[in-house]
Structures are given as structure tokens and as C-alpha cells.
Amino acid sequence: MKTIADIVLLGDPRLYEQCAPVVEEELPLVAGWVADLHAVMEDIRATYHFGRGIAAPQIGVMKRLVYLHLDGQPRVLLNPELVELSPTMFELWDDCMSFPNLLVRVQRHQQVTVRYRDEQWQPQTWTVQDGISELLQHECDHLDGILCTMRALDPLSFRWRPTPAPAESNLRMG
């Protein structure tokens, strides 16, 4: 099982590569990839207190696979393709598991529609907006070798987020 130590970090050339599609013959491998993605996401959540989605290349699996875990519900997107992008945009500070202490100011589409295959290889279509729209755009960018650092609004659109302190340090002394 993969852990936070297996996350592919900023500067690794794999993060800039375009991923290969998942083919139907690889379906038996998907459950293992998803288990690894879930385990790494849980480690990130425990360490950095964020994480709703992760793309396969972030753990070195160079396949078009996105794993989301929203409100306790997992969702696997095989070969996701953004097919409709709203003209309305919004700005936000984006974060990424591959550089967890860096926030990047970006602009994203308010609403998107994604086509993908689920774990049973069934075609699906999903329309989302706001935060989930941003998340899907971020994760699909990973599949094309695009990082949010490459989408920064300007050279001043970077901010450092300190690592959260362990719970013990919140205790008062004396």
C-alpha cells in the first residue's frame, strides 16, 4: 500500500507528462490503483488537513484515472474528459498534494461537465459547479501534465501555507 512518502513531488518530470488512457483490459488493476490513491489521500488529510481528489500520476501511475472522496463517498473516473466548460469563471487559491505547502491563485470555470467511465466500464456524465468544478479541472489537468503553478494568474499568485502543528502543540504550558 502506498503512503504519503510515495507522492510525486513538484519538479518530478512525471508530473509534466500526458497520461495514457485506461483500457478495458486494465480494469483488474484499477482496484489496486484506487486503494493506493485512497491510502495516500488519507495520509495527506491526516498530515495537511486537506484533500478531496487525487490523480493517478501523483503516485506514479501514468494513467488517466482520478479518485475523488467527497462527503464520505468515493468516485472513480476513468479517462475523464471535460466536455462542457461554462464561460463564467472564478478565482481561488488552489492547493495540490504534490506541493502541499504552496497555494496558487488561479482562475477556473464555474461549471463543467465531465464524461468518463466508472469502475464497471460504464459511460457516465456528471455536471458540477463551484468547488467540485475546480477540483475536477485541477485533477484533469494532472492527467495532461499541467500543474496549477502553470495556471497562476501572475507572478505574485503564490502563497506559502505552513504545515499544521501537531495537536500536542496546541496544549497550554504551565
Closest CA to 147 of 4, 18, 3: 18
For residue 71, what are the CA distances in angstroms to 52, 68, 74, 111, 131?
9, 10, 8, 19, 13
Spatial distance between the Cα atoms of 71 and 137, rounded to a whole number of angstroms: 19
Q: Give the pairing of strands 102-109 and 158-160.
A: antiparallel
The amino acid at residue 50 is F
For residue 19, give the C-alpha cell: 497520461
Kindly compute the dihedral angle of the four CA atoms of residues 26, 114, 127, 121, in this order, to the nearest 10 degrees.
-20
pLDDT at 162: 75
**DSSP bridge partners of 20:** 63
The amino acid at residue 92 is L
Helix (H, G, I), strand (E, B) or coil at 154: coil
Question: Catalytic site residue 139?
Answer: yes
On whether the pTM is more than 0.85, the answer is yes
Spatial distance between the Cα atoms of 4 and 49, rounded to a whole number of angstroms: 13
pLDDT at 173: 35
For 4-35, give the DSSP string: GGGPPPTT-GGGGSPPBPP-GGGHHHHHHHHH
**Catalytic pick from 24, 91, 134, 139?**
139
pLDDT tens by residue, the chain, 174 residues:
999 999 999 999 999 999 999 999 999 999 999 999 999 999 999 999 999 999 999 999 999 999 999 999 999 999 999 999 999 999 999 999 999 999 999 999 999 999 999 999 999 999 999 999 999 999 999 999 999 999 999 999 999 987 665 544 333 333
Spatial distance between the Cα atoms of 114 and 127, rounded to a whole number of angstroms: 6
